[in-house]
Amino acid sequence: MEGPMGRLDGKVAIVTGAASGIGKGIALRFGREGAKVVVVTDRRVALGEETAATIREAGGDALFVQGDVSSSADTRRFVAATVERYSGLDVLVQNATWSARGRAVDLAEEDWDRTLDVGLKSIYLGAKYAIPEMRKRGGGAIVNISSVNGLAASPQLAAYNAVKGGINNLTRNLAIDYGRHNIRVNAIAPGHVVTESSGAAIHRDPHQTWSFTDACPMGRVGTPDDIAGAALFLASDDASWLTGEILVVDGGMSIQVPEVLVAAHYRRLGGKPAVAPIEDPPAVD
């Protein structure tokens, strides 16, 4: 693909959970920036193949590999397939997740196990099999997709909150253990990102729309491309001396004191609201 140099030219990148949403956005951005992209999904095979095809149609180079990120055998296989096709591995973006809503007492044990296997065990497995290949190339970058739920908790998300908190500290541990091998490990903590499946839902309820727009300093929800831009930076040589960081990408939502989130007049002190305020903001229990 001729044209201006991309920020990931010559890099080989795996992106898990790339069938849709954030993972798809990252895979497409990496493809536009010159990376050879390996798209990994488990059950949504058709959508994963579509992501890879879109990259190729735009002039990029992409391979689809089906795999369950919670499986040691599958993870080893899709890393091996990457190396076989592209002769190495430089970047691993670990985005795949699965979760069941529930409090600890109510949550089924199998749902707890599945959430931790797909969301947290997968981070360990990805590092286990990707890092040896990165060392052969003289270094690499791992970007783990966490959440603001790894910094603070939401109700009835016991397993999901545990996963995201675990990702953050495992990210730091990997950064410490492999920094001397020129392997950087960082995480992104997105706020509320609207994807294909959630876009229409937040606009059906005006109170929900309010909570993700007027309550946010940037006045809008996030998009997959917002997260893709952060992932591109962390994967690129521009972040060559940055490791072990949890990069919060949430439009400024989490920098506010609680009063800003529950009292409209606090937000109005910062200027005109980005969207028309609702006359009766949602009650807080």
3-state helix, strand, coil in the chain (%, to 5): 45, 15, 40
CB burial string 227-239: b at 16+ within 10 A, e below: bbebbbbbbbeeb
Task: Record the tokens describing residue 120, joined without a space.
Answer: 């947290």
User: Rounded CA gap, 65 and 87, in Å?
Assistant: 16
Q: Name residue, tokens 């992106």.
A: 15
Helix 122-136 to helix 72-86 angle (10° resolution) is 30
Question: Of 86, 160, 178, 266, which one is the catalytic site residue?
Answer: 160
Angle in degrees, CA 195, 196, 198, rounded to 5: 65
Q: How far apart are the first and last CA of the chain?
A: 55
Q: Name residue, tokens 């990994």.
A: 40
H, E, C per residue of 229-262: HHHHHHHCHHHCCCCCCEEEECCCHHHCCHHHHH
Residue 266 bears catalytic tag:
no
Task: Record the tokens describing residue 26, joined without a space.
Answer: 């990252």
Report the C-alpha dihedral over residues 187, 148, 214, 251, rounded to 10 degrees.
-20
User: Rounded CA gap, 10 and 96, in Å?
Assistant: 24
Q: Which residues are part of the catalytic machinery?
A: 160
